[in-house]
Structure 1
Amino acid sequence: MNLVILGAQWGDEGKGKIVDLLSSEYEVVVRYQGGSNAGHTVMVNGQKFILHLLPTGILHSHTIGVIAQGMVVDLELLVEEIKQIEGKGISVRDRLLISDRAHLVLPYHKTLDALLEKKGKIGTTLRGIGPAYMLKYARKGIRVCDLWDKDRFYSLVRDNLEFVEELCKKVYCEAFEMKVDEVVDRALENFEEIKHCVTDTSSYLLNTKKSILFEGAQGTLLDVDIGTYPYVTSSNSSALGLSAGTGLPPKFFSGAKFLGVSKAYTTRVGEGPFPTELKDEVGDLIREKGKEYGATTGRPRRCGWLDLVALRHAVKLNGLDGIVLTKLDVLDGFEEIKVCTAYKIGNETFENFPASLFLLEKAQPIYKSFEGWKESTYGITSAEDIPEKAMNYINFIERFVGVPVVMLSTSPERDKYIWLSEVFHGKRVGSSNIC
């Protein structure tokens, strides 16, 4: 049975380790949305890997990695990432499939990204992701398959450069200098490195008999439709993106298991509402203990208590079967730990996650407090070693969001985790021998 792993917060939940861990039992691992704005960090035998475009499961030598049609691909960064991984002794290009329908990120997308961010601060990674999707839906995008025809590719790039130049100079009164030959030549040079990997990935996924793990990037609350719009990413980073991002029919996922990854507290990067944010020494302590700095940008993350209203929103809209809880150890030693169970907005109490940015910016969290366990949970691998007060915290989360916490990740290392649910603990998550 196939598995979908999604971020259940504002990204940075620790999906990289979880995908790496669980993909050991799967044969194909698929990225289906976003681009190099993702940053999945995995520790393997003391060695750190940070992946931006490659599926995290590619670190296992038996897997096939798929970059599906919903992604926007920066070939420059992809080739660089492949070479870095191969430089550590892990083969990539003989196990990588890239959709011929995926759209490209080219240098002018990054120029446009910086300009748009300057004019209206969202907090993007400046990797060109938003403009690549913007031009895709304006029907001015360029796809991987366009690289096969050099003349066509040249024409498309030339037209886009003229469009971006006009936009920069006439609308934003900003200078723009970029030569079509340089953009085209560099893209084709990078294409030579990976063109044997390019194929119809939708057809491959529909016809394969192999087990598949689908790996989401960013997080549910950054989803362009159900997140904290406009402070979101430019793709469907929830389960909503699965069918369009893979080119597979919705029925394909009817038998899959869906797991959401959540920290034991909450973080976000960039601008946007964050009801439980702690702008005090407690928030600073969580940031330092949790090493909360962006894998892609290095920016310090905003930190706060666990927002269960937002987490329940993610559970419901993704149809999650369970939660993987990460970084519980960051809360070790706290005298008191809080979780948000509702919002106070004016004179009203909200138990559901509102769509309105106006309401979210005014939301005051209503907290339930727990006595801290003041014991170390770092690196533990047995459920018997979880402190009773920590289990009380976990049990409350389960009851509130309505699905079980099926696994704890207790350190960045691959082998430091605990299964808490026998339903999910087996040779393969959701396989017939355990369900």
Structure 2
Amino acid sequence: MDRKLVILGAQWGDEGKGKIVDLLSENYDVTVRYQGGSNAGHTVIANGEKFILHLLPTGILHNHVVGVIAQGMVVDLDVLDRELEGLREKGIGYEGRLLVSDRAHLVMPYHKLLDRLFEKKSGIGTTLRGIGPAYMFKFGRKGIRLADLDDERRLYSLIEENVAFVKDICEKVFCENHDLDAGRIFEETLEKYSKYRGLVRDVSQYLLRTDKTLLFEGAQGTMLDVDMGTYPYVTSSNSSALGLSNGTGLSPKFFSDAYFVGVAKAYTTRVGGGPFPTELEGEEGKRLRDLGGEYGSTTGRPRRCGWLDLVALKYAVELNHFDGIILTKLDVLDTFDEIKVCVAYDYEGERLEHFPASLKVLESSRPVYETLRGWKRSTKGAKELKELPQGAKDYIRFIEEFTGVPVIMLSTGPRREEFVWLRELPQIKVSSL
């Protein structure tokens, strides 16, 4: 295998990255989360048990893997505590296997309060976990890093200043009161930190100097990238490959020999507001949602569903320079007589073949579809190439030809063992289509 593997979401998140990272982590020594925070929700079914990890790297479920929370993440100590306690209850030890960057910023109680107020005003569709405000404070130079928790005098001053700032916003902008208490937040933060102080270190130096194999786990998806996604209906971090360097503190050259894989569903979903050219309304959309169990693992919200948008997927392929695609939930399409794929957009009579930046253009565009024949046979749980019907292979080949990169693996169900290799990853020999 390659020494460095990067797994990224190729759509609007919820592509099934959790299972893929869990599956491939078996072959790696270290897995790294480097952007986002507990707004992620990576679901894994392992050994008959369901795990939903919001903050921890998914690879931590393997006893040999070191999990790393790198500097680009925003860390909620309450969530970290709950997730680690959940691992302990299920007999998974993390001692000596979890590192947290001293440069990572904290999600504080006042960030969650602001998130609720901002969402009430804007309706972007955030998870209300305080992630956006935490990044806002970071870039506004009001953030608190884990490294700051060892300087109690400075920490109290920062919290006091931030609580006063938030109080002004609540009362003067939103005309609401709050019950934030700087002293209580200070004491509770130090109490939580004392439990996990031994995990905190300079993660960038660790990654730079280790000779272990590394898997980098993206959260959310490329189309939610704060710079390259459907702004402003995006997440608060770089969820494309652009986030790798600033999220880890490593030079772009460090990743020049990495293998980049995008995870995509065989159809398209998104949560919250924002443009979605292939969204299906009515019964067709409901059918996809019900067959795919499309409800958010973090929020429980029903996801918006539509046919596969190849314009958006090709954009993600080019932006991230993917070496291959892992396709999930192909079985959701098993019962359809015909399956549509979007190959272009129609904007006021003009055919668009590249994903536009303009919100107005996206909201006014209509999908240009090609229709493929369905295969009308179950692919669920398939573990060998020969189990796939020809129609499913044709669908995969169409995706490959349009995007210009191979589909290297299919996930055929939620469990670890439900997958099919279609192409050759370094040092993994498989049959070809």
TM-score range, shorter chain: over 0.9
C-alpha displacement of 1:425: 5.8
Partner of 2:44: 42
Give matches, 1:138-157, under 5 Å.
138-157=140-159
C-alpha displacement of 1:423: 4.0
**Percentage of pairs with the same residue:** 64
Equivalent of 1:280, from 254, 263, 282?
A: 282
Give matches, 1:303-322, under 5 Å.
303-322=305-324
Partner of 2:336: 334
Partner of 1:12: 14
Amino acid in structure 2 at the alignment position of 1:73: V
Partner of 1:410: 412
Give matches, 1:296-307, under 5 Å.
296-307=298-309
Say which SS state the counterpart of residue 87 (structure 2) adopts.
helix
Partner of 1:354: 356
C-alpha displacement of 1:148: 1.0
**Range 164-173 or range 217-226, more displaced:** 164-173
C-alpha displacement of 1:422: 2.2
On the 8 A contact 1:419/1:425 being kept in 2, the answer is: no
1:29 lines up with 2:67 in the alignment = no
Residues 2, 98 of structure 1: CA spacing in aligned structure 2 closer, same or farther, 3 A cutoff? Answer: same
Partner of 2:373: 371
Displaced runs of 4 or more, over 6 A: none
Give the whole-Å Cα distance in 2 for the aligned partners of 1:86 and 1:344: 53
Give matches, 1:225-236, under 5 Å.
225-236=227-238
Partner of 1:109: 111
Say which SS state the counterpart of residue 26 (structure 2) adopts.
helix
C-alpha displacement of 1:45: 1.7
On the 8 A contact 1:146/1:152 being kept in 2, the answer is: yes
C-alpha displacement of 1:183: 0.9
Equivalent of 2:181, from 179, 203, 207?
A: 179
C-alpha displacement of 1:414: 0.2
Give the whole-Å Cα distance in 2 for the aligned partners of 1:92 and 1:297: 26
Give the whole-Å Cα distance in 2 for the aligned partners of 1:424 and 1:7: 21
Equivalent of 2:214, from 207, 212, 219?
A: 212
Render the CA deviation track for 1:366-388: whole Å, top value 9, x for unaligned: 00101110000000000011100
Residues 248, 189 of structure 1: CA spacing in aligned structure 2 closer, same or farther, 3 A cutoff? Answer: same
Say which SS state the counterpart of residue 25 (structure 1) adopts.
coil
Q: Which runs of 5+ in 1 are unaligned?
A: 430-435
Amino acid in structure 2 at the alignment position of 1:356: S
Give matches, 1:92-107, under 5 Å.
92-107=94-109
Give the whole-Å Cα distance in 1 for the aligned partners of 2:368 and 2:115: 37
**Range 218-227 or range 280-289, more displaced:** 280-289
Amino acid in structure 2 at the alignment position of 1:130: G
Say which SS state the counterpart of residue 242 (structure 2) adopts.
helix
Partner of 2:392: 390
With normalisation by structure 1, the TM-score equals 0.97
Partner of 1:85: 87
Give the whole-Å Cα distance in 1 for the aligned partners of 2:162 and 2:96: 33
Partner of 2:200: 198
Amino acid in structure 1 at the alignment position of 2:75: V
**Range 310-319 or range 86-95, more displaced:** 86-95
On the 8 A contact 1:135/1:141 being kept in 2, the answer is: yes
Partner of 1:263: 265
Partner of 1:432: none
On the 8 A contact 1:76/1:187 being kept in 2, the answer is: no
Q: Which runs of 5+ in 2 are unaligned?
A: none
Give the whole-Å Cα distance in 1 for the aligned partners of 2:424 and 2:144: 46
C-alpha displacement of 1:94: 2.4
C-alpha displacement of 1:114: 0.4
C-alpha displacement of 1:26: 0.4
Give the whole-Å Cα distance in 2 for the aligned partners of 1:306 and 1:263: 8
How many equivalent residue pairs? 428
Residues 8, 21 of structure 1: CA spacing in aligned structure 2 closer, same or farther, 3 A cutoff? Answer: same
Give the whole-Å Cα distance in 1 for the aligned partners of 2:78 and 2:42: 18
1:253 lines up with 2:271 in the alignment = no
Residues 425, 407 of structure 1: CA spacing in aligned structure 2 closer, same or farther, 3 A cutoff? Answer: farther
Give the whole-Å Cα distance in 2 for the aligned partners of 1:424 and 1:182: 52
Say which SS state the counterpart of residue 43 (structure 2) adopts.
strand
Give the whole-Å Cα distance in 1 for the aligned partners of 2:397 and 2:189: 51
Give the whole-Å Cα distance in 2 for the aligned partners of 1:187 and 1:235: 24
Say which SS state the counterpart of residue 161 (structure 2) adopts.
helix
Give the whole-Å Cα distance in 1 for the aligned partners of 2:381 and 2:48: 14
C-alpha displacement of 1:176: 2.0
Render the CA deviation track for 1:243-294: whole Å, top value 9, x for unaligned: 0000000100000000000000000000000000001211101101110000
